[in-house]
Structure 1
Amino acid sequence: MYITSDNTLYSYFKHIGFTLLAISLLCLLITLTGGGNINAVTWGLSGISLLTIGSLLVIISSRLPKHVSHQNNGIWQKDATTRGISAWVLGIVLTGFYILLYWFPDTLHGLIAALEPLSQWLRNKPSDQWFLYGFFYTLAVIVMGVHALLKYRNNPYHLIRTCSVIFFQLGFAFLLPGLLLAFNQPEFYFSYFWPLKYDYLFPGTVGYLIDNGQALGVFMVFWGAVLSFLATPVLTYFYGKRWYCSWVCGCGGLAETAGDPYRHLSDKSKKAWQWEVAIIYPILGFVIITTLLLWINSWSGGSLLGDLSGGFSRSYGFFIGSIFSGVVGVGFYPILGNRVWCRFGCPMAAYLGLLQKHLSRFRITTNGGQCISCGNCSTYCEMGIDVRWYAQQGKPIIRSSCVGCGICAHVCPRGVLKLENGPVDGRYNGSSLIQSDSLKILS
């Protein structure tokens, strides 16, 4: 439905939003640099509140007046979404935040202290760098989730999908782990499991959960094992990897909300696809080998491998868990697109992709006779798939990297693409096309 309200009113609210954003950044800067001379809680929470309100005002006043068919207008002309100066500045800020968070958390003491009341209320524990990270991560998913809901408001699939990732991030990845700590139980993220949360099946983690969580800890280990080895293959068989990557996963949730404005920046070249295959599957293999080595070492009492398996674990945590998934995976959103981690580094995506490619009912069917080669589908594919190539030939899209976000079908002006869970038999069969040599017009 097109909103015909006075654009002046929306412009007024947008200016208020930007003003609040400027004030919020000043408050947060004072929180970071004020030391013991200020009340970090007052300044920090004021800055966060103004940041949230200002962002929502800008988002609503920018998205609501636009017709649903105009939501992507000008995206290749805006500095912020075409790797311009503002995009690089934002990328540097995000990357810097991750570097400080991981390796220099003392520099963020003001922001950590600002969340002390919330941490004590939710977790009954002092605030720390990881609570700060979880809070801002969840806030980004919620605020930018509103952006996605308004942008795709005419599409029920995207409305439900966006609400789903917000629900799982807020409930399963933020509130529930905090409540577990409040009741003196091990912190556990029920929406993450092996191989993405690679240490959940490590012997040290399994022992910790069972020893400290007792009956609940046993359930956590059981939950993680069942989700990894039973539920994942079954759900992927019926729905493809989209059930997790686009509906549940926090990494995917952030990509589909905060990263949505940058989805068109994904590299569509053949070279990028070759790098994708060359990196993501070895990372999955590394996780599998590390897990096996740790269990072998545990069963041998450490006599067989010593600390070698622990070195594997620490190396993976540093290079993949920190640098790749955090610093590069999120920090480079404005430069490389929103699914760098999911596409090139996530072991869960590799695992799901293998199942989707070879053992799934999911596919995106194409009606090639209706394709006008506009290229919207390929442009907005966040996983770098050349969707148009398949559509032009009437071939179904069955790619291990596809996360089933459905944006390609949403932006298609002719309804060429359709997400389906059909029979396995004939899954690779394309739609019938009328070839030029069958017309015989000139003969």
Structure 2
Amino acid sequence: MTPTFTTPPLPTSSPAEKLTLAVVAGGLLALLLALADADPGRQRTWLYLALGLVSGGTLAWSWLKFGQHPAGVQHNNLWLRASTGRGGIAWVTGLVLTGFYVVLYWYSGDNGQGNFGPLNNLVHGLDGFSQLLRARPADQWFLYGTFYTLAILVMGGRALWKYRHSRYQLIRTGSVMFFQLGFAFIIPGLLQFFQQPEYYFSYFWPLKYDYLFPGTVTSLAQNGGLGVFMVFWGAVMSFLATPVLTYFYGKRWYCSWVCGCGGLAETAGDPYRQLSDKSRAAWRWEVRLIYPILAIITAITVLLWVNFAMNSSLLGEVGNVAAKWYGFAIGAVFSGVIGVGFYPILGSRVWCRFGCPMAAYLGLLQKHFSRFRISTNGGQCISCGNCSNVCEMGIDVKQYAQRGEPIIRASCVGCGMCSTACPRGVLNLENGPRDGRYQGSPLIHADSLRILS
């Protein structure tokens, strides 16, 4: 008789969890009403009600789901749920996120009369908040920044409950929440409030590629001392602080502690981290894409400066056209539409892994000039695969752990989840001396495994 295998039934949610999910659903309904209601007063009411219900419901659900259970990383049923295992809910979520980015980037610009297209009601619903923070009406980018920051804060709260047993994860999550709220939302808003250039102190070239373009540098320098400081800050952080900090701490100081892209991936993208492709083919595509993108933006920046120095007599508008196409293809389509829209299908670090030029820059420094590594104690590894499952960058951590080899990969963002998820304490994030950095565990290594097998 041929044995049959059936999928075990998923555990049901408690009544309290269902209630909190109903609150979240009510918030989403209120958001739709805010989009559809023609009355400005009701638009604002529906919008703030939606944000409150979604935020409160999500935090309450997180407390019930994680805070009321024993601390520790739980992988139960991740691949069986329709929301986290590329099921129907995941595809619908991906379509909604992708559609939002398409509308945001290309169909929500101001038409000159204060109309922002399909997002008009939501944008004007935040006018009061925008006036308070920036002393000007809201636009589509303020709406996006508000949603983005709220997503990191709310889902960061979820992460704090989920990983409360790990001091490293608590501090790291708190760090990305702090930098997003302070450096990428409040400070840029206050700068506009005081009639200063909007500037994001947590983003640097080549990620924020236009910050070192001649036009941006010239414009900032014309705004007096603060503008000059902004130019100085951007240049120092890109070319001095980044190599120094990466030498001591690896790329994690930025990708997992400061960057807003990484902050969203580590919080809102946490339910999808297991979806990253661990295959060698994916690694080949990673190398084929991310380093050419870094080379392209470097070439564009150099071209613009050469052309600027020669009063545009060398290639005319070629550099500006190239910069615009880069902004469209990489800055919008890759980082936004694909990078975030495909979270539920491809995992939370698609942009960081395949497209981010800052990640490529940091990765080269980390692999060849850094003290950072993840050491492994191969003798303790039980090959459970938890480490590989939680790696959002697609690194098959288990293979390194089995062989007792240190993990020194350009793509590793140092999130530490592999170490947090390991039940045996095999993995350890270290900033040790460069001497012997590639030396494996003395307890077990690749040759021993071949003999034993």
Shorter-chain TM-score category?
over 0.9
Distance 1:59 1:438 in 2: 44
Residues 120 and 437 of structure 1: CA distance in aligned 2, closer, same or farther (over 3 Å): closer
In the alignment, the residues of structure 2 paired with residue 436 and residue 127 of structure 1 have an alpha-carbon distance, to the nearest angstrom, of 58
> Could you tell me whether the CA contact under 8 Å between 1:240 and 1:362 is conserved in 2?
yes
Change (3 A) 1:61 1:295: same
Q: Residue deviations 1:382-425, cap 9 Å, x none?
A: 10011111111111100000000011111111111100001111
Alpha carbons 1:240, 1:404 under 8 Å: kept:
yes
- 8 Å CA contact 1:31, 1:38 repeated in 2: no
**Structure 2: unaligned runs, 5 residues or longer:** 1-12, 109-116
**Would the aligned equivalents of 2:403 and 2:446 in 1 still touch at CA under 8 Å?**
no
Q: Within 2, Cα distance between the matches of 1:45 and 1:358?
A: 49
Q: Which range moved further: 42-51 or 232-241?
A: 42-51
Q: Secondary structure at 2:373's aligned position in 1?
A: strand
Which of the numbers 249, 258, 264 marks the counterpart of 2:274?
264
Is 1:59 aligned to residue 68 of structure 2? no
1:35 paired to 2:52: no
Quick one: distance in 2 between partners of 1:93 and 1:435?
47
**Which SS does the other structure have where 2:331 is aligned?**
helix
Q: Within 1, Cα distance between the matches of 2:291 and 2:362?
A: 11
Alignment match, 1:407? 417
Distance in 1 between the 2:29 and 2:160 partners?
A: 29
- Aligned counterpart, 1:133: 144
- Seen in structure 2, the aligned counterparts of structure 1 residues 437 and 179 have a Cα distance that, compared at 3 Å, is closer
Give the alignment partner of residue 387 of structure 1, picking from 385, 397, 402.
397
Q: Does 1:283 align with 2:293?
A: yes
User: What's the offset of the Cα at 1:38?
Assistant: 5.9
1:88–1:411 Cα change, 3 Å = same
Match of 2:247 in 1: 237
**Cα distance, 1:351 vs structure 2:** 0.2
Equivalent position of 2:202 in the other structure? 191
Residues in 1 aligned to 2:300 and 2:448: alpha-carbon distance in whole angstroms: 57
Q: What is residue 5 of structure 2 aligned with on the other side?
A: none
Cα distance between partner residues in 1 of 2:446 and 2:314: 67
Deviations 1:283-305 (A, max 9, x none): 00011000001111111111111
Aligned to 2:214: 203
**What is the number of equivalent residue pairs in this alignment?**
431
Equivalent residue runs for 1:201-350 within 5 Å: 201-211=212-222, 213-350=223-360
Partner of 1:25: 28
Cα drift, residue 438 of structure 1: 8.3
Q: Which residue of 2 aligns with 1:422?
A: 432
1:107 maps to what in 2? Answer: 118
Distance in 2 separating the partners of 1:200 and 1:436? 46
Q: Distance in 2 between matches of 1:426 and 1:146?
A: 39
Aligned mate of 1:87, from 58, 69, 90: 90
Cα-Cα RMSD: 1.8
1:170 matched to 2:165? The reply is no
Larger mean CA deviation between 23-32 and 329-338 belongs to: 23-32
Q: How far, CA to CA, are the matches of 2:129 and 2:15 in structure 1?
A: 33
Deviation at 1:70, TM superposition (A): 5.5
Q: What is the Cα deviation at residue 52 of structure 1?
A: 1.2
3-state SS of 2:92 partner? helix
Measure the CA separation in 2 of the matches of 1:375 and 1:438: 20
* TM-score, scaled to structure 2: 0.92
Aligned to 2:167: 156
Structure 2 Cα separation of the partners of residues 46 and 233 of structure 1: 45
**2:17 partner letter:** K
CA contact (8 A) 1:13 1:57 kept: no
State the one-letter code of the partner of 1:24: G
CA distance in 2, matches of 1:207, 1:224: 13
- Deviation track 1:330-362 (CA, whole Å, cap 9, x = no partner) reads 000000000000000000000000000000000
Whether 1:120 aligns to 2:131 is yes
Whole-angstrom distance in 2 between the partners of 1:70 and 1:365? 20
Q: Is the 8 A contact 2:387 2:419 kept in 1?
A: yes
Query: 1:363, 1:419 within 8 Å by CA — same for their partners in 2?
Result: yes
* CA positional deviation for 1:11: 3.5
Q: Which runs of 5+ in 1 are unaligned?
A: 1-9
Give the superposition deviation at 1:40: 1.6
Q: Is the 8 A contact 2:72 2:165 kept in 1?
A: no
CA 1:404/1:435 → structure 2, altered by over 3 Å: closer, same or farther? closer
Cα distance in 1 between the residues matched to 2:446 and 2:180: 51
| 1:119–1:131 contact (8 Å) kept in structure 2 | yes
- Distance in 2, matches of 1:135 and 1:156, equals 28
Q: How far off is 1:178 after superposition?
A: 0.2
- Distance between the aligned counterparts of 2:210 and 2:61, measured in 1? 40
AA in 1 matched with 2:80: Q
What's the TM-score, normalizing by structure 1?
A: 0.94
Q: Cα gap change, 1:116/1:270 in structure 2, threshold over 3 Å: closer, same or farther? A: same
Match of 1:6 in 2: none
- The 2-side partners of 1:145 and 1:438 are apart by 42
1:365, CA displacement in angstroms? 0.5
